[in-house]
Structure formats: structure tokens, C-alpha cells
Amino acid sequence: MSALEEFQAALAISTGRLLATAARLTDDEVRAASLLPGWTRGHVLTHVARNADSHVNLLTWARTGVYTPQYPTPETRETEIEAGAARPAKEQLADLEESSERLDRAIRELPPEAWRAIVGGSRPPRHPAWYVLMRRLREVEIHHIDLGAGYGWADLPEPYVRWELHDTMHLWPRGQGPVSEIVSREVRDDGEHIQVWRGLGDGPAVHGTPRELLAWLTGRAPGEDLSVKPSDGGGEPSGSPATSSATSPVTSPVTPPSPPQWMSMPAPRDLPVEPPATWPPRHD
């Protein structure tokens, strides 16, 4: 299965989970606050619905070669979200179902060669159309959590966590961040997996599981579950099994500093035009 096929399958499953959550919400629950400051659940649901239509626009651009902006204007995006936020639960669900179906149809009908077309959102860089699937998957998964309706970080599919952490770190402003090093540690069936990103900026090293790191990197959590340690400046990741217990740095009780703005760009630069066989690439 190619990365393109993986993204399509993951998006279909993630959309189904979101629709199931939306179907359980009452009118009062839709009007209640979400986990996003200033937004109700109705704002979140409306945004996700309009975002589906915006990605139909990008796939239309890819299919026809005619420039079709994701949103006509930033103001249009905000106005549509505000206009739809107060709708009752039944209308919110119907809108989400119908917009998701429009996007699914656009995905299924896109010719194979069109996935290589270059499209873009309201911010640079432009990217190959195949990355539209990852952008939409991000919207569905993260905003499902933002609803605050029972779906949390522990529910994120492992492949999505791996994809998202890779892309988030790819977009980190190297040398300008408030930490010097990020260390991801995860125990899988085949043993412990450690991934280290260095040269990030000045400050301590931050250690955690991929999910804990992702919650912090997206600005959704302060990082209270992460470990903040002095960076060793190279070699083995600080606090790794290769470091003796006598010299292992002591974990600080403080939370890590706030990370740079998440997703300051809609996609990593220099993505391959051809849909990749795997994502992240094997060499990463």
C-alpha cells in the first residue's frame, strides 16, 4: 500500500469516527464551549465542514489545472464559521456528512496524474495535491480532539501520530526555538524506538512519547507529562540507556517552554511531486 492509499484509508476511518461523535451531540452540547478558546463545538464542526469544501477546491484545481483558491478570502472563511456555529446538532451533522461526502467523491474521482499537480492554501508553500489528504486528516484528527467530546490524544491512530510528528518537526524553525533538542521515546512490540531532533535552538532537551510531544507541539497541552532535561549537545540522547545512571541528568519538575507556532506553513517544503511509497520517507 502506497502512502497515498494509506492516507485515503486513514482519512475515511477518521472521518467516520468524527461523524459518530457528532451524531451523539445534543443541541446544548453543540452550543457548549470546545477546547479551543472562544469557539463552541458548533464553531469546530462548522469549520471542519467548510474545510472539507475548501479541500474540494484544491482538488478541483489539481484536476482542471485552473487556479481555485482554497478559500475565496480569509474573511469569507471566518464569516462562514460564525454563520454556521449556532445551528442545531442535526443541521451540523448533516452539513458535516454532506461536505465529507463531497470531498470523498472528489478524492475518488481525481485522475492518478492529478495527484502530482501543485496546489496551495492561503499561505506558502504550495505542495503536490497528494498532500491535501494529509492536510485534511490533520484537520479531522486534531479538531476531533478539540471538540472535547470524549476523543483524546490516546485515541489518535499510531500511523497518524508518526506522520504528524515527522511533519511538525520538519517545519520547526531550526536554530530559533526555545529548546535545543527533542527526544521521542516509544515502546513497540519490537522494542524501544528513539528519535532525536537536534539543533533546534537554545534551551533544554524535551523528552516524551510521540503523543505527549505532539500534544505540546500543537499548542494543545502545556507539556506537563514531558521531561525537561539539560541537553548533552550531541551523541546519545540525554538520559538514554547508553548514559550511566551516575551521570544521567535529573528530570526537571517544570513544564517545557512554549514551542514555536504550530503549522506556520500548510505543508513541508520540497515535498516529492510523485506520491511517495511510504511516509515518512525511509531515510527519515
CA angle at 69 for the pair 124 and 265, rounded to the nearest 5°:
20
The predicted structure's pLDDT at residue 246: 33
* This prediction's pTM: 0.92
Contact 18, 49 (CB under 8 A): no
Residue 203: CB partners within 8 Å, gap ≥ 6?
A: 177, 178, 179, 180, 231, 257
pLDDT per residue of the chain (284 residues) written in tens, 0 to 9: 899 999 999 999 999 999 999 999 999 999 999 999 999 999 999 999 999 999 999 999 999 999 999 999 889 999 999 999 999 999 999 999 999 999 999 999 999 999 999 999 989 999 999 999 999 999 999 999 999 999 999 999 999 999 999 999 999 999 999 999 999 999 988 889 999 999 999 999 999 999 999 999 999 999 999 999 987 655 445 544 433 333 344 444 578 999 999 999 999 999 999 999 999 988 66
3-151, CATH topology level:
Four Helix Bundle (Hemerythrin (Met), subunit A) (1.20.120)
The predicted structure's pLDDT at residue 237: 52
The predicted structure's pLDDT at residue 232: 65
Q: Which amino acid is at 139?
A: E
Say how many Å lie between the first and final Cα of the chain, rounded. Answer: 19
The secondary structure of 42-59 as a DSSP string is: HHHHHHHHHHHHHHHHHH
* Residue ranges per structural domain of the chain: 3-151, 158-260+280-284
Q: Which amino acid is at 57?
A: N
How is residue 136 written as a grid cell?
Answer: 485534511
d(CA 129, CA 131): 5
Q: Which amino acid is at 221?
A: A
Q: Is the dihedral of CA 245, 249, 250, 253 positive or negative?
A: negative
d(CA 45, CA 94): 11
How is residue 132 written as a grid cell?
Answer: 491535501
The predicted structure's pLDDT at residue 282: 80
Between strands 191-198 and 127-128, the pairing is unpaired
User: Residue length, the chain?
Assistant: 284
Main-chain dihedrals φ then ψ at residue 183, nearest 5 degrees: -120, 120
The predicted structure's pLDDT at residue 245: 32
Give the model confidence (pLDDT) of 179-227 as tens digits.
Answer: 999 999 999 888 899 999 999 999 999 999 999 999 999 999 999 999 9
Query: Cα Rg for the chain, rounded, in angstroms?
Result: 20
